[in-house]
A and B are shown apart, each in its own frame.
Chain A
Amino acid sequence: MHSFGYRANAVLTFSVTILALICAIASISDNFNSPSPTATVQILNINRFLRKSNGDDEVGFTLDISADLQSLFTWNTKQVFVFLAAEYSTPKNSLNQVSLWDGIIPAKENAKFSVKIKNKYRFIDQGSNLRGRDFNMTLHWHVMPKTGKMFADKLVLPGFRLPESYR
């Protein structure tokens, strides 16, 4: 600590070490948050349901997605990525996941929302298995923190069924 430069070096290195430490503790503090998000999805209309020329089934929805994800936000949360997937099983694949809609929630104030939209990404099956198919709507989310570990979880909304015939 005999010279100006030596003292400046000591202060800066020690302060950055402690900064890393408080960021790590901030990340650990996220584990004390036990979120209780809620979501409902309604199919307002089936706009189209057809077999494409290559033999794959395609469905077009108008969806009403309402969710309250405010409890996911902590002081260490930068943003939340959320996407809605249709999940169902077919004889060929035990789990099919088709993303229908996604969004980025930048702040807690935007985390309680209700949107009525057509599915953002096309719902196409690998094959012709969608007639009369039971499926789940699953809301997945990834919590992106300012520092530290990312969290991911989902909410399964069961009890959806596609019609028996094309329209």
Chain B
Amino acid sequence: MDWQGQKVAEQLMQIMLVVFAIAAFITGYIVGSFELMMYVYAGGVVLTILTTIPNWPFFNRHPLKWLDPSEVEKHPKPQVTSSVSKKKTAKK
């Protein structure tokens, strides 16, 4: 799951649970059945689990673009030659 996917998964989880809780309470209150409220909410929780916990391809649409390995050869690591250059690298 990429960074963007993690953010989407967290927001989706919170929104889905709140919406299902409101829907469950309203249906339960109107029908007058506590059991129905529990079943609607339980269904909502299961649906939320199935939506947000597995690593669906949906959450991997923004992969990190790493630099190509060939870049390493073009920009070699600075070699430690003297104490002056050592300080410079440390500052970096």
Question: Which A residues contact B (CB, under 8 angstroms)?
Answer: 1-2, 4, 7-8, 10-11, 14-15, 18-19, 21-22, 25-26, 29, 74-76, 146
Tell whether, in the assembled complex, residue B17 and residue A22 are in contact, meaning their CB atoms are under 8 Å apart. no
Tell whether, in the assembled complex, residue A10 and residue B37 are in contact, meaning their CB atoms are under 8 Å apart. no
Tell whether, in the assembled complex, residue A75 and residue B28 are in contact, meaning their CB atoms are under 8 Å apart. yes
Q: In the assembled complex, how far is the CB of residue B82 from the closest CB belonging to chain A, in whole angstroms?
A: 42
- B-side contacts of A4, CB under 8 Å: 53-55
A19 to B53, CA, bound (A): 19
Tell whether, in the assembled complex, residue B32 and residue A75 are in contact, meaning their CB atoms are under 8 Å apart. yes
Interface size, chain B (Cβ < 8 Å): 27
Tell whether, in the assembled complex, residue A7 and residue B29 are in contact, meaning their CB atoms are under 8 Å apart. no
A21 to B25, CA, bound (A): 10
Name the 10 nearest CB pairs between A and B, nearest first: A1-B6, A75-B32, A18-B21, A15-B45, A7-B53, A1-B10, A22-B25, A1-B9, A146-B34, A22-B21
A7 to B48, CA, bound (A): 11
- A-side contacts of B53, CB under 8 Å: 4, 7-8, 11
Contact of B25 among A1, A14, A15, A25 (CB under 8 A): A25
Q: In the assembled complex, how far is the CB of residue B87 from the closest CB belonging to chain A, in whole angstroms?
A: 37
Contact of B13 among A11, A29, A74, A76 (CB under 8 A): A11
Known contacts A7-B9, A7-B13: does B1 contact A2 (CB below 8 Å)?
A: yes
